[in-house]
Structure 1
């Protein structure tokens, strides 16, 4: 089977068609039709619709003329949603430099490596290297990208780029940005960022800035909701361990804010659930030097789903 994510296929034995949104195994794929239903089907029971496949219609192959001025930086990894199948994303390499790039992308899963892409990327262009389903983010392999630079005439030898990443939900929580070499907004990761330039005057001014101006801690209020859907828009893509880490970190931040504002107490709403978050809150509170005590908050209102922490 040589089908890829994002390809447009038609069922052999029935009048149905759609985009491939999941590779289940070597013999089975999942196709999402125009009504949004995902249908598991044997690969042998569908056929590619030419003119709408990923092979026949590459997402990005834009190439612009090289400027007279030599551009030495501007290598980006761009992750874009598929225009037709939103659950599929494509990983692209954007070459905004005047260099010719030789790129190799390899995936790693269960200590096994597989070459997914190799090729030459011309200056001022972008190319698609890999596709995956965002709904299966926790099953994505680790990405290894190696890039070599070539140019007809430069003053220095550019060091190769080696980038390795196991993507998590947090990598897709930020806003998408545009690039002149892409046809749509994407999550962008710069691979050749320059060293930050420090403005001596601004650095000097920061030393003499009043303490109140340097740090302003917002009053957390009397009640703080720790439910993950209140903290992150991408919570459906997070693992349970990642959710707990985010909730505990937010609890610590708001507890510190309550101490700064000298609140007598603060209520943390964590829900009943399996008690894991409540236990973590109690563990932190019991060891905190500024916590006097803690107890279940207003059972008639919250049941066992909230803890009130009293501060010294």
Structure 2
């Protein structure tokens, strides 16, 4: 049997079960259980647990030709990347069709000039379908992907030109906040495939050269305690390298410190955690030479231990 990422499986010879989180080769997969430990196992030694694959959809049934469309929706084809609700290390790529056209869609992947057809099918109007599943731990080796679409309708609608979209995901593509994907009732990262090309208004472009400087923005007053843990700052922290995490944390620290100075706060607490001490060291180094900082110390050891710094301002 051929298994897919996210399949719930049970070991034949042992009392173990879990989810497929990696396709190692044509004969071996990685299975992760409740202990979050991934075990390589032969595909012949596991079996699919029926009833766990909830991705069967009736959305792809063609709509009847008797429906009358008064105002056709011709734009709105999206690629949504959503986390598996049970296995966070696996994501699923869904094609969301918000148009009044039926879509004849294919997905092809390419790795080192080797091509593989991952999906071919029909998506009904106002429907969605899962195209492919991938492991987040292998993001750096995700293949290049190509979606090809044909637009079809039995109604009196002018046919649209075929659409071909190529994309290669990188960690920065997940830097934006997740959005609600209505068709899936889930949060995910969304990319519009049929987004209109940007039209440049030359008159407005010329006007922009003569506009006065933008007025100084209002700086929001920070709270007395600022948590710098990366999961508090970014939704996509699992995609970010350790080096970039430190840069994001320090940028937020400096911005908040500047805001505290503008609002003339007497002191502010930065929760940096213990970890390996790198963030704590960078914060101490910055405030020790800052002209607007009077002094600093470890904040409320009974509450934070050595995981927070209180900075006193002049």
Tell me how far 1:9 sits from its aligned partner.
Answer: 3.6
* Partner Cα distance (2:93, 2:283) in 1: 39
Residue 44 of structure 1 corresponds to 44
Residue 78 of structure 2 corresponds to 76
Q: Residue by residue, what CA displacement relative to the aligned partner does 1:104-140 show, whole Å, maximum 9, x if unpaired?
A: 434466x565434242434413222111245x26456
Which of 165, 171, 174 in structure 1 is aligned with 2:174? 171
Tell me how far 1:254 sits from its aligned partner.
Answer: 0.5
Q: Residue by residue, what CA displacement relative to the aligned partner does 1:246-287 show, whole Å, maximum 9, x if unpaired?
A: 212211221231232133554434345444324544676689
Tell me how far 1:157 sits from its aligned partner.
Answer: 4.7
| Range that drifts further, 92-101 or 267-276 | 267-276
Flag the 1:39–1:248 CA change in 2: closer, same or farther, 3 A: same
* Partner Cα distance (1:88, 1:156) in 2: 36
8 Å Cα contact 1:140/1:166 also seen in 2: no
**Which residues of 2 match residues 297-308 of structure 1 at below 5 A?**
297-298=297-298, 301=301
* Partner Cα distance (2:280, 2:34) in 1: 44
8 Å Cα contact 1:96/1:123 also seen in 2: no
SS of alignment partner, residue 22 of structure 1: strand
Gap runs ≥5 in structure 2: 199-210
Which of 231, 243, 250 in structure 1 is aligned with 2:233? 231
Q: Residue by residue, what CA displacement relative to the aligned partner does 1:68-120 show, whole Å, maximum 9, x if unpaired?
A: 243201212233444665653321112222334344434466x5654342424
TM-score in terms of structure 1 length? 0.68
8 Å Cα contact 1:73/1:192 also seen in 2: yes
SS of alignment partner, residue 99 of structure 2: coil
Flag the 1:264–1:187 CA change in 2: closer, same or farther, 3 A: same
Residue 30 of structure 1 corresponds to 30
SS of alignment partner, residue 218 of structure 1: coil
Flag the 1:133–1:169 CA change in 2: closer, same or farther, 3 A: farther
Flag the 1:306–1:9 CA change in 2: closer, same or farther, 3 A: closer
Flag the 1:299–1:83 CA change in 2: closer, same or farther, 3 A: closer
Residue 128 of structure 1 corresponds to 130
* Partner Cα distance (1:15, 1:275) in 2: 42
Q: Residue by residue, what CA displacement relative to the aligned partner does 1:13-45 show, whole Å, maximum 9, x if unpaired?
A: 345555423334554323356898765422221
TM-score in terms of structure 2 length? 0.67
Which of 53, 57, 62 in structure 1 is aligned with 2:59? 62
Q: Residue by residue, what CA displacement relative to the aligned partner does 1:184-237 show, whole Å, maximum 9, x if unpaired?
A: 4242513334589xxxxxxxxxx9xxx7xx954332244433233443566456
Gap runs ≥5 in structure 1: 197-206
How many equivalent residue pairs? 289
Tell me how far 1:240 sits from its aligned partner.
Answer: 1.3
